Amino acid sequence: MARVTLDQVIKRFGDVVAVDNLSIEIQDKEFLVLVGPSGCGKTTALRMVAGLEEITSGSIYIGERLVNDVSPKDRDIAMVFQSYALYPHMNVYDNLAFGLKMRKIARAEIDRRVKEAADILGIGELLSRKPKQLSGGQRQRVAVGRAIVREPAVFLMDEPLSNLDAKLRVATRAELIKLHQRLQTTIIYVTHDQVEAMTMGSRIAVMRLGVLQQLDTPQAIYDHPANIFVAGFIGSPAMNFFTMGIGSTESGVELVGQGFSMALAGQMARSAAPYAGREVILGIRPEGLDRMSQGETEETGEIAAVVEVVESMGSEAHLYLSLGERSFVAKMDGAAPVRVGDQVKLAFDKEKTRLFDPETEEAILPEPALAIA
Amino acid sequence: MLGKANLGTRFLLVYLPLLGYLVFLLFPFYWMIITSFKRDVDIFVLEYNPFWIENFTTDNYRFLFTGTAFPEWVKNTLIVAVASTIVSLFCSVLIGYALARLRFRGSNFLGVGIFLAYLVPPTLLFLPLAQVIARYELFNTYWALIFTYPTQLIPFASWLLMGYFRTIPRELEECAMIDGASRLRAMWSIVMPLAIPGILSAGIFSFTLSWNEFLYALIFMSSGTMKTIPVGTVSDLIRSDVFQWGALMASAVLGSIPVAFIYSFFVDQYVSGLTAGAVKG
């Protein structure tokens, strides 16, 4: 049980900055997911917490203890590797027991803990097998089991599901969530898969090119992405972006884009006002777009577009649409009664759209004073 | 019909050349073995079929054990070969591991340097080495060879082991280190058991080379009973221009047995050890 604190941590490999000034405070018993595309520094960050990489500058605390110069074995952590890193020459029992033997724990206690972990994970029958005799899913369980038996203060997991097939990945995802609830231990989990991040994390840290982009709960990140990168990375299919000019009408501020326009009211109009005469990026989530029905209100915007591709998944359908030269995606519930080439009118909730600055790529937020008013 | 034709062509193209090659390869061994069982006088009688033993005898072997210091040679060779193999393996494992795993200044340079050391011909190296041996007064002691053989064995064995260590995933050690092992402990409990094929290959290589070595053994350890099999065979069984062919061949047969024995036992590991180093090293 422990908090983990990264304070202005920097890691350089030669001239390359892998992790740039990363500060995260991970609460006790929290499930923190580090997510980002490959090369974003998430694994390096995790390896620094593990003590497998030295940090160039900054400090890392586990609990109240500064661990910058503490060797991995003395950090009271356990790690699950992407490749599982099971010891090939030992059977499952010895794999699970290795960490305990290293710590000179009594044989009876080792036996009790190994059996208990094997029970939790349902690998009791496999204890005498060698890793190469196990399936991918079984190996993954053994890797998790090896971490559990240690009863560490912090679990570190480096893409533990990425070697499983899609179906098993979903099942194991749920099991890891249950395991976290049962063990009540701090977990730092690295993944490049935003679905894993959304479903598993109590909080998500989105990273890009070594820099922390946003750190918040999954819902807050989904609803209020801090910038275009986060908006595009979290959510599947990705958010649609439209470059819009800002004009003013007698009723207020209006966004004018290729093929459609949208009048802004209230808070959004106020936050967009400083951009008058310039361009902004409008972000609309695919699930925010729906086919026009009766009863639109002031809050509804609309786009007319041509259907190019229909991907039907049974419970939902993705429409790939074109609007002039731009293409974008809409996500519909159920089967979509449209065909390729159809002209459709789509409605969206203006309140759920996001505006971004085209230069800084940051979200344009309502000014705090005005938001309160 | 087609199948039959195929069999015919396959015989012509595959088995016949292989058979020819095998005969070519094994003939010297055959010659060595049959000669060792011939009477000395028969070897020079041209009426006899030279490819067959007319009068079978074990006199040559008996002479080897009673008339020469052959048992001493075997003992010497064994002591020197085993000791220099152990010394070389111990050093090479540490060197190979360090070059494969530890990031330190000049590690690449050191790796190349060690390889270059291997390329220095032993025939050049023996001159300075002879001075060293003389200064430490080690001539005609086992140490003369136990210290000098590794100069040839360590460079190659280190490179072979470095290549092998690189094929072992780094995460295994990292995991062990998180699990509570020190680096040395992780190396001992995790890396070593997995590197056995590589270590065996390096060991076989070292043992074979030390067992057969001639030049250093001739120079550094060649008086009285302090001879190795190759040196003893050549110096004691050839008396000026008299070649005791039967005894020579008997000594050669007995001398090749240990090496042949080791190879036949570990050939699988040897191959996998060498290729792992070759492909990924």
**Residue A27 belongs to domain with CATH number:** 3.40.50.300
- Enumerate chain B positions whose Cβ falls within 8 A of a Cβ in A: 169, 171-172, 174-182, 185, 189-190, 193-194
Gyration radius (Cα) of chain A, Å: 25
Per-chain mean pLDDT for chain B: 88
Are residue A220 and residue A93 in the same domain, yes or no?
Answer: yes
Are residue A111 and residue A257 in the same domain, yes or no?
Answer: no
Per-chain mean pLDDT for chain A: 88
Are the CB atoms for B118 and B159 separated by under 8 Å? Answer: yes
Please report residues of B whose CB lies closer than 8 A to that of A51: 178
Q: Where are the alpha helices (DSSP H) in B167-244?
A: 170-178, 183-186, 192-194, 196-212, 215-220, 229-237
State the pTM of this model.
Answer: 0.82
Are the CB atoms for B259 and B243 separated by under 8 Å? Answer: no
DSSP class per residue in A94-138? HHHHHHHHHTT--HHHHHHHHHHHHHHHT-GGGTTS-GGGS-HHH
Among A205, A233, A261, the domain-final residue is A233
The secondary structure element, H or E, covering residue A146 is: helix A136-148
pLDDT digits (tens, 9 = 90+) for A261-273: 888 877 778 788 7
Q: Please determine, for residue A295, whether its predicted confidence score (pLDDT) is greater than 80.
A: no
Please report residues of B whose CB lies closer than 8 A to that of A78: 178-179
What residues pair up with A190 in beta bridges, in sequence order?
A: A34, A158
Q: What is the pLDDT of residue B278?
A: 43
Distance from C-alpha of A358 to C-alpha of B203, rounded to nearest angstrom: 65
Among A218, A233, A248, the domain-final residue is A233
ipTM: 0.82
Are the CB atoms for A130 and A88 separated by under 8 Å? Answer: yes
For residues A11-35, average pLDDT: 93
- Looking at the structure of chain A, the number of domains it has is 2
Are residue A215 and residue A363 in the same domain, yes or no?
Answer: no
**Domain of A148?**
4-233
pLDDT digits (tens, 9 = 90+) for A129-176: 999 999 989 999 999 999 999 999 999 999 999 888 888 889 899 989
> For chain B, what are the domain ranges?
1-30, 62-280
Q: What CATH number does the domain containing A365 carry?
A: 2.40.50.140
The minimal CB distance from A72 to the residues B172, B177, B190 is found for: B177
Residues 6+ positions from B24 with CB-CB distance below 8 Å: none
Question: Touching check for A14 and chain B: CB below 8 Å?
Answer: no
Q: Which of A366-370, B67-71, B222-226 comes out lowest in average pLDDT?
A: A366-370
Among A183, A207, A233, the domain-final residue is A233
Q: Please determine, for residue A201, whether its predicted confidence score (pLDDT) is greater than 80.
A: yes
Please report residues of A whose CB lies closer than 8 A to that of B185: 102
Are the CB atoms for B42 and B54 separated by under 8 Å? Answer: yes
Closest CA to B118 of B231, B219, B206: B206
For residues B187-214, average pLDDT: 92
Are residue A218 and residue A314 in the same domain, yes or no?
Answer: no
Distance from C-alpha of B158 to C-alpha of B91, rounded to nearest angstrom: 8
CA A40 → CA A49, A84, A155, A208, A209, distances in Å? 16, 22, 21, 5, 4
pLDDT digits (tens, 9 = 90+) for A85-134: 999 999 999 999 999 999 999 999 999 999 999 998 889 999 999 999 99
Q: For chain B, give the percent of residues with pLDDT over 70.
A: 94
Determine whether the interchain pair B178/A87 forms a contact, defined as Cβ–Cβ distance below 8 Å: no
- Test mutation, A43, A49, A52, chain B, max B CBs within 10 A: A52
Please report residues of B whose CB lies closer than 8 A to that of A71: 177, 182
pLDDT tier for residue B165 given thresholds of 50, 70 and 90: very high
Query: pLDDT: is A364 or B275 the higher one?
Result: A364
Q: Please determine, for residue B81, whether its predicted confidence score (pLDDT) is greater than 50.
A: yes
Are residue A284 and residue A142 in the same domain, yes or no?
Answer: no
Please report residues of B whose CB lies closer than 8 A to that of A99: 178-180
Q: What is the pLDDT of residue A251?
A: 67
Q: Where are the alpha helices (DSSP H) in B11-106?
A: 16-36, 40-43, 59-66, 70-101
The alpha carbon of A238 is separated from its chain's Cα centroid by a whole number of angstroms, namely 13
Distance from C-alpha of A10 to C-alpha of A58, rounded to nearest angstrom: 6
**Sheet order of strands, A77-80 included:** A77-80, A154-158, A186-191, A31-35, A203-208, A211-216
Q: For chain A, give the percent of residues with pLDDT over 90.
A: 58
Omega before residue A237 within 30° of 0, cis: yes
- The CATH class of B62-280 is mainly alpha
Determine whether the interchain pair B178/A102 forms a contact, defined as Cβ–Cβ distance below 8 Å: no
Nearest chain B residue (CA) to A80:
B175
Are residue A186 and residue A253 in the same domain, yes or no?
Answer: no
For residues B240-254, average pLDDT: 89
